[in-house]
Amino acid sequence: MKLTFLRVESAEQITELARLAAEIWREYYVSIITMEQIDYMIGKFQSTQAIEDQIHHQGYEYYLIQQDDSAVGYMSVRQEEEKLFLSKFYIAKEYRGRGYASKAMVFLVQVCQDRNLSYIGLTVNRHNESSIAVYEKKGFRIVREQIADIGNGYVMDDYVMEKRIESRVT
């Protein structure tokens, strides 16, 4: 079993990613936010059109996390000055607990080192205790709280977390 990180570029890959995102979000977030907010956020941030716009106009890179030829999750990042912003990071339910998050973190650290970036930043829902615990285990720390209005009467109530990246020894 080989885990790969496939950069999403084609329309077919974007469609597959949007399908996977909708499946994961509806399964995972229902215990944290309402289904109405989940559906709104999928449409606004993870629909085919939204992903295409993020890739082509907002500087985001999406990666399908694949085990052999099966998509098991995905990530989205955007380089911002000296940091890599981890916008999305999701593993499908049936693949959680298999070390994929650790392998993905190694991949992200490698990206940072290749680009000479100092840290990885992310936002995570303040009530998403399991993800916060995983991020803390991977070396992230909470640096502040943030509430962002995303429209339609919804907000994202998040922690901002960061992980310092050591420069590669040459």
Report the relative pairing of strands 83-91 and 61-67 from DSSP bridges.
Answer: unpaired
- Of the candidates 62, 166, 60, the residue with the CA atom closest to the CA atom of residue 112: 166
Asked whether the predicted pLDDT for residue 98 surpasses 70, the reply is yes
Name the pLDDT band for 169 (thresholds 50, 70, 90): low
pLDDT at residue number 19: 96
Instruction: With both helix axes pointing from N to C terminus, report the angle between 11-28 and 48-57 in degrees, rounded to the nearest 10.
Output: 120
pLDDT at residue number 2: 86
Asked whether the predicted pLDDT for residue 168 surpasses 80, the reply is no
> Model-level pTM?
0.93
- Of the candidates 42, 86, 41, 27, the residue with the CA atom closest to the CA atom of residue 62: 86
Note the pLDDT tens digit of each residue in 117-148.
Answer: 999 999 999 999 999 999 999 999 999 999 99
pLDDT at residue number 69: 83
Contacts 24+ apart (CB under 8 A), 129-136: 132/159, 132/161, 134/101, 135/161, 135/163
pLDDT at residue number 167: 79
User: If 0-12 CB within 10 Å is exposed, 13-18 middle and 19+ buried, where does residue 75 land?
Assistant: buried
Asked whether the predicted pLDDT for residue 170 surpasses 80, the reply is no
